């Protein structure tokens, strides 16, 4: 069976998912406060790289410390409700991209394995 990365559509799908996700985050009043004054283009590319890596595509060429990266956001109040809201956006975007439900479930399950690190728990 092909990797989740391939089933989702490879690099173009990761780029689209990251782009649409940050568009939604920018408009989401519960989330956008955590991303003020952030370079969205750079952040989007980091997200593409991360998603590609965790879904079985090209691997990051360095170790990513999700706790350290997200610790300042957690200190500013980011919590499980915010994590869940991002996950909801990902689900909605994947559905809009006509992704199979089983692949959406697999993607969210994979992302969920990083929740404790992202929330520094």
- Please give the annotated binding residues, written as ranges: 70
Rounded CA-CA distance 47/22 in Å is 9
CA angle 63/59/38 to nearest 5° reads 65
pLDDT tens for the 121 residues of the chain, in order:
899 999 999 999 999 999 999 999 999 999 999 988 888 888 899 999 999 999 999 887 667 788 998 999 999 999 999 999 999 999 999 999 999 999 999 999 999 999 999 999 9
Q: In terms of CATH, what superfamily is 4-118?
A: Globins (1.10.490.10)
Annotated binding-site residue numbers for heme: 70
pTM: 0.91
The domain ranges of the chain are 4-118
pLDDT of 112 reads 97
User: What single DSSP character describes residue 59?
Assistant: P
- Give the number of residues written for the chain: 121
For the chain, the first-to-last Cα distance in angstroms comes to 34
Backbone dihedral angles phi then psi of residue 64, each to the nearest 5 degrees: -105, 120
Tokens (6 digits) for 85: 């809201």
């Amino acid at each position: 069976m092909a990797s989740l990365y391939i089933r989702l559509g490879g690099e173009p799908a990761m780029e689209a998912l990251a782009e649409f996700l940050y568009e939604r985050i920018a408009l989401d009043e519960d989330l956008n406060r955590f991303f003020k004054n952030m370079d969205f283009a750079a952040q989007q590319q980091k997200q593409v790289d991360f998603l590609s890596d965790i879904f079985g595509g090209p691997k990051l060429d360095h170790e990513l410390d999700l706790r350290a990266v997200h610790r300042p956001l957690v200190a500013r109040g980011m919590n499980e409700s915010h994590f869940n809201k991002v996950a909801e956006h990902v689900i909605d975007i994947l559905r809009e991209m006509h992704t199979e439900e089983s692949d959406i479930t697999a993607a969210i399950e994979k992302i969920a394995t990083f929740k404790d690190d992202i929330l520094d728990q």
